[in-house]
Structure 1
Amino acid sequence: MDEILHATPGNPVPGNHVAGFFDGYRGVKLRYAIFRSEEHMPMGTVVLIQGRNESIEKYYETIKDLTARGLWVATFDLRGQGGSERLLKNPRTGHVRRFSHYVRDLEIFLEQVVLPDTRLPFFMLAHSTGGLIALSAAPRLVNRIDRMVLCAPFVGLAKQSISNSKVYWLTMLMSLFGFGARPMTKDGPLEEFATNALTSDVARFTRNQQIEETRPELAIGPPSARWLYECMKAMYRVNMPAHLYSITVPTVMIAPTREEVVSYEAEERMSQYFRAAQFVPVAGSRHEILQESDYYRGQALAAIAAFIPGSEAEEQAKQALEPSAP
């Protein structure tokens, strides 16, 4: 039997894990893994949701950090990327038919894998596109997820050569007229460190490039027009005040300020209406804060450690501040 998870130089597979596949929405085959802590009494399970063009392999370091703290980690590759089933004939094009399919996959994962096979309480850690998925699902997560951390959630496009409104109309028209599967840009070679917008850490950048070089089947290239159109519609929905008011899961939003992928201004603006969220800017960090240099990554890990799983004293103080029933 072929291995399910892959090791690369300097990036070994964390121990004490199980891995396999489950059927996502409409039977799409999705790769998942559960990593257990060595602690006898686990403190709960973190459901880790990746960003676009990511895979389980990219998060081994963060998974080890979490399991060392007594937490289990449950994660899966999004449909159309990583070790999960591709959706188009061209496996390099990042695509999704409906953004809601991501949300349905997450719900199936929670019901069929996380709930029966991991340990309560459940928390969520989501990056970029994963953050948009978490925000979309959040109103229905109140009885399943205790706390949620969003790292650079994909709630708005960073400034580009053409306006967001033009991108929206272009991708909408391409989708409506049968060109939704077309990639938005040309596929090219691996990016050089000097021009990357994701991290300022050479070692972690190199490690992630080695994953793609060693296991090219895990990577994807440019997004399709349909993918971008569906994401922009989801961004509009989650930014609506009514949607944000409906989210009651306590949340921390970690926002790198040196962004070239997601709009920092959009994240900051969202936090003003997001009553359940605490906004934590990290000055100088680029988009992939969990892949950043120790200075920036350490700040994100400290915020996560202070919030997940939380302490009994914190919960007691919160309850003491709540008004008593008449």
Structure 2
Amino acid sequence: MRELVATPDNPVPDGAILHKLRTLDGRRLRAATFPCSGRTSQGTVAVFQGHNEFIEKYFETVEELRKRGFDVVALDWRGQAGSERELDDPRKGHIDDFSQYLRDLDVFFSDVLAPRPQPWFALAHSMGAAIMLDLAHETRPPFERMALTAPMIDLHNLRFPGGIRWLADTLDMLGLGGRFIPFGKGRSFLEGPFENNKLTTDPVRFARNARIVTTAPDLVIGDPTIGWVNAAFRLMKRFETPEYARQVRTPILSFTVGRERIVSNGAIERFVQNLNNAALIHVPGAEHELLMERDECRAQFWRAFDAFIPGSRG
């Protein structure tokens, strides 16, 4: 399993501890702990990445959280980043069902989160945010509060959604779930040009993350498989029911962005309206990855985060 990767402009935070986890079904997952840099911790923030992300992208976020007095833990989801793949092709990020991610969290909570100081909070992005919402619906999560950026409630401007869902389900049932989506390829956004990318308007942070991939290309995957998409559609279909959101009791702060082109802002707004204890912040001018954005966009996130998370010393 790969060690944490350092580049000149993205060093591994001091004191980092790498965890090599083993799931109930034998998969190997990579996780990390970053102890608080101060003497007294205000608690622990668990960082949960989105699809096709990796722990190293969040080193800057880790340092921001540690400056605020928190320990930080992070996980690479199964099938991507530094964790074991589900298929032989390492560029295929695959899952049969999103419930597998929830089961993987059990070992992460017991082996990585449990020893860290309480209270515990979650900071999750996109796919990771969707998994956190599913966790909060299915059980009582260990987190006091959750901050979610661009949660994957539905996809952006999906044409003929019913037909696309039917096609994904049909191809999956025909045994084609392990193939890339039609016209998909084994290349990540970070291996493409900055121009017109859907992740960030910040060329500096985009280039920083691209250099990580150049140094460690095994950290990224390509487009999702048909099976992954079908599993995501099944989860997002559950999000459509207002009662689903009403059953979530954890306080949640969600963020949408003005230049979103991956998930649906409208779906997020509708979902948040049905939550019991939630707020929604909109950040104009930002693309999908708010924490990888320009300083002025990130500053809006951190102001809201500091007001929402008790003990944050921003």
TM-score range, shorter chain: over 0.9
Q: Residue 177 of structure 1: SS of its match in structure 2?
A: helix
For normalisation by structure 1, the TM-score amounts to 0.91
Tell me, in whole angstroms, the C-alpha distance in 2 between the residues paired with 1:163 and 1:275. Answer: 31
Q: Which amino acid aligns with 1:145?
A: F
- Which stretch has the larger CA shift, 80-89 or 302-311? 302-311
1:40 positional shift: 1.2
Tell me, in whole angstroms, the C-alpha distance in 1 between the residues paired with 2:311 and 2:133. Answer: 21
In the alignment, what sits opposite 2:213?
212
Tell me, in whole angstroms, the C-alpha distance in 1 between the residues paired with 2:311 and 2:71. Answer: 15
Determine if contact 2:46/2:73 at 8 Å carries over to the other structure: yes
Tell me, in whole angstroms, the C-alpha distance in 2 between the residues paired with 1:3 and 1:84. Answer: 9
Determine if contact 2:19/2:112 at 8 Å carries over to the other structure: no
Determine if contact 2:52/2:221 at 8 Å carries over to the other structure: yes
Determine if contact 1:157/1:164 at 8 Å carries over to the other structure: no
In the alignment, what sits opposite 1:7?
6
In the alignment, what sits opposite 1:176?
173
In the alignment, what sits opposite 1:314?
none
CA RMSD, Structure 1 to Structure 2 (Å): 1.5
The Cα offsets for residues 16-44 of structure 1, whole Å up to 9 and x where unpaired, read as 22112111241210001000112211000
Tell me, in whole angstroms, the C-alpha distance in 2 between the residues paired with 1:152 and 1:25. Answer: 30
Tell me, in whole angstroms, the C-alpha distance in 2 between the residues paired with 1:3 and 1:267. Answer: 35
Correspondence 1:32-51 to 2 at 5 A: 32-51=31-50
Tell me, in whole angstroms, the C-alpha distance in 2 between the residues paired with 1:159 and 1:143. Answer: 31
Unaligned runs of 5+ in 1: 312-326
Determine if contact 1:4/1:20 at 8 Å carries over to the other structure: no
In the alignment, what sits opposite 2:67?
68
In the alignment, what sits opposite 1:164?
161
The Cα offsets for residues 242-295 of structure 1, whole Å up to 9 and x where unpaired, read as 221111111101111211000111111111111221111111211000000011
- Which stretch has the larger CA shift, 41-50 or 267-276? 267-276
> How many residues end up aligned between the 2 structures?
308
1:142 positional shift: 3.5
- The structure number with the bigger radius of gyration is 1
Correspondence 1:128-147 to 2 at 5 A: 128-140=126-138, 142=140, 144-147=142-145
In the alignment, what sits opposite 2:108?
109
In the alignment, what sits opposite 1:270?
271
Unaligned runs of 5+ in 2: none
Tell me, in whole angstroms, the C-alpha distance in 2 between the residues paired with 1:102 and 1:193. Answer: 31
Q: Which amino acid aligns with 1:181?
A: G
For normalisation by structure 2, the TM-score amounts to 0.94
Tell me, in whole angstroms, the C-alpha distance in 2 between the residues paired with 1:174 and 1:141. Answer: 32
Q: 1:256 to 1:295 in 2, by over 3 A?
A: same
The Cα offsets for residues 181-233 of structure 1, whole Å up to 9 and x where unpaired, read as 11011234721111201100000000111111110011100100010110111
The Cα offsets for residues 94-117 of structure 1, whole Å up to 9 and x where unpaired, read as 1111110011112321123211x2
In the alignment, what sits opposite 1:95?
94
**Which stretches of structure 1, 4 residues or longer, exceed 4 Å deviation after superposition?**
none
Tell me, in whole angstroms, the C-alpha distance in 1 between the residues paired with 2:178 and 2:309. Answer: 39
Determine if contact 2:93/2:224 at 8 Å carries over to the other structure: yes
Does residue 16 (structure 1) correspond to residue 15 (structure 2)? The answer is yes
2:150 pairs with one of 141, 149, 152? 152
